[in-house]
A and B are shown apart, each in its own frame.
Chain A
Amino acid sequence: MLQLAYIEFWRYLRAFFRYPLEVLGGVLGAVVVFALFFSGVRYLAGPALFGERLEALVVSLLAWTLAFSLLSYIASTLTEEALAGLLEQLALTRPGLLGVVLVRSAVSLFQIGLLNIPVFLAILLTSGARLDFHPLTLLPLATLALGALGLGLLLGGLALIYKRVGQLVSLLQFLFLGLFLVRFEALTQPWNALGYLLPLVPSVAALRLLLGRGEDPEWGLLFLTGINALAYIAFGIGFFKRALRRARRQGTLGTY
């Protein structure tokens, strides 16, 4: 297991140092977009526009960046491997395709965390938001990552069958931007329950409370966040396995 993580990390570094601009270009793009957005908004409207909601907004955006980096990483790596005709060779390995994807996702967490630091700094500096860091924050961060992994496997499963899912990923990206901005935790009874069922949303709510308001969320919320993440990862793995099986039945694992 450690060996696999090591070799994936090694492979990643090799590719990174050979083609650094591809990765850095994406990071730089995100930094510029967020920096321009927040400076522009502050210049136009002053900090009053968001008022006390600024922190909530910033946390939502941070969570969104993190979750979608991971999610689209899984989907795009599978699409790329399919295009390169490598899915079959990866299936003929000890961990199998699902194993390789899981190990890669775990390794990518590290990379995503590292690469997103400049993006976070850009958002924090240009928005002027003040966030509280509490050790408990790690919990919803972990559930956010798990949930994103589950969704990533779902999209990855679709990529196994339909090969190209880039459009779907962009669509989801905007859908979730909207969802992440809704403060389900502040809504009234029937509506906030909906938030617990949606993927990733409870983790974002917990993060908003912890980071933005410096409040300790109720244990009930944290518990539901964990259940939600576990449910989505289980669903993602199940879906991926079924998709793999279907691709093998149709004989289309290697085609693109």
Chain B
Amino acid sequence: MNPNVQNPTPVLQAHALRKRYPKAKGWLEALKGVSLQLFRGEILTLLGPNGAGKTTLVKILAGLVEPDGGRVEVLQEGKRTWMGAVLEGNRNLYWRLTALENLIYFGTLRGLIPKEARRRGLELLETVGLAEKAQQTVGTLSRGQQQRAALAAALVHDPPILFLDEPTLGVDLEAQEAIRTWLLRLKEQGKAVLLTTHQMDFAEAVADRVAILQEGEVVLEGRTQEVLEGSPGAPYRIELQAPLGEGDPRLAQLRAFEAEVEGKVVRVVGEETLWEVLRILDPLPLERVERESLSLAGLFWRILGERSERCSSLPT
């Protein structure tokens, strides 16, 4: 809550955002009162498992989804073009237009004159390493190239704020690297970036601050470095040769030790627990046992583990 030292006023503030969607019986609470702040020259990464509400949050901030409660404050309000967004999925551009044509089109719709949009477009395609693909229709580009073109399109009108929903999903390593370097450069230019992902290594490499969202609530938020330092021992990762069956009685025993089970992978925190868990798993064939480095990934799994533990202890 205390203001950021270098950047005292946030460019974007969200207060107690709530959103629920109707579902078969009753409501699905997608966001249960989420607040966040976004500052200039900063990358905030929103982490969370599928269905945590990340996309809903980004769309509310962008004004594409109407919240049921709470409010969003932006420094430059009133225009729809104060931000650029690359939304989830791969269709942010016209597949039948070339990369450059897309940039000219969206640039003009976002307030540039066409000539200026063309100049900016060429410049941006150069920066994302797509200069020689500028004249190729977007449908014929690879996923990584499409995603880089979409990033360029989101920035063509030079907005101060950028929203990126899963920008690295399904993107090859080379393009991921290109996106990473570019994000860091944008940050230096003073842009405020909000990024969602469930790729922890990517998040760790770019994020100044992280917020972990789970079931519509921010369960942890802070500067990446501080969050990592405050995290307890790194978890152990046990990989089985085959996943445990649905009704396996060992599952309940594992949960009792706060172990996180994901298919063939079991994660536990603490050496003592590791031995207990190995005893439970005995004599199942193991693939490998390793210690995860002290990382966002470890922290993330631990927090999820804690939460599901708390939830499963509630009467159902």
Contact = CB atoms under 8 A, between A and B. Distances in A.
Interface of A: 3-4, 6-7, 10-11, 14-15, 18-19, 84-86, 88-96, 100, 245, 248-251, 253-254
B21 A86 contact: no
Contacts of A19: 96
Contacts of A3: 108, 113-114
16 contacts: A6-B108, A84-B95, A86-B91, A86-B92, A88-B59, A89-B85, A92-B84, A93-B110, A94-B80, A94-B81, A94-B111, A245-B66, A250-B21, A251-B19, A253-B64, A254-B64
Interface in B134-174: 137, 153
A94 B109 contact: yes
Top 5 closest A-B pairs, CB basis?
A85-B91, A93-B109, A7-B108, A251-B65, A248-B66
Nearest to B112: A3
Contacts of A88: 59, 62, 64, 85, 87
B108 A4 contact: yes
Interface in B65-85: 65-66, 79-81, 83-85
A103 to B, nearest CB: 9
A97 to B, nearest CB: 10
Nearest to B96: A15
Contacts of A249: 65-66
A89 B108 contact: no
Interface residues of B, number: 37
Contacts of A95: 109
Point out which of B85, B94, B111 has the most chain A C-beta atoms below 10 A from its C-beta: B94
A100 B92 contact: no
B187 to A, nearest CB: 22
B62 A92 contact: yes
Interface of B: 19, 21, 56, 59, 62-66, 79-81, 83-85, 87, 89-97, 101, 104-106, 108-111, 113-114, 137, 153
Given A91-B64, A94-B111, A248-B66, A7 B91 contact: no
Contacts of A7: 104-105, 108-109, 114
Contacts of B80: 91-94, 96
Given A18-B96, A89-B85, A89-B106, 16 more contacts: A7-B105, A10-B114, A11-B94, A84-B94, A89-B87, A89-B93, A91-B63, A92-B63, A92-B85, A93-B81, A94-B109, A96-B80, A100-B109, A249-B66, A250-B21, A253-B64
Nearest to A249: B66
Contact of A92 (B65, B81, B96, B114): B81
A248 B92 contact: no
B141 to A, nearest CB: 15
Contact of B97 (A11, A91, A251): A11
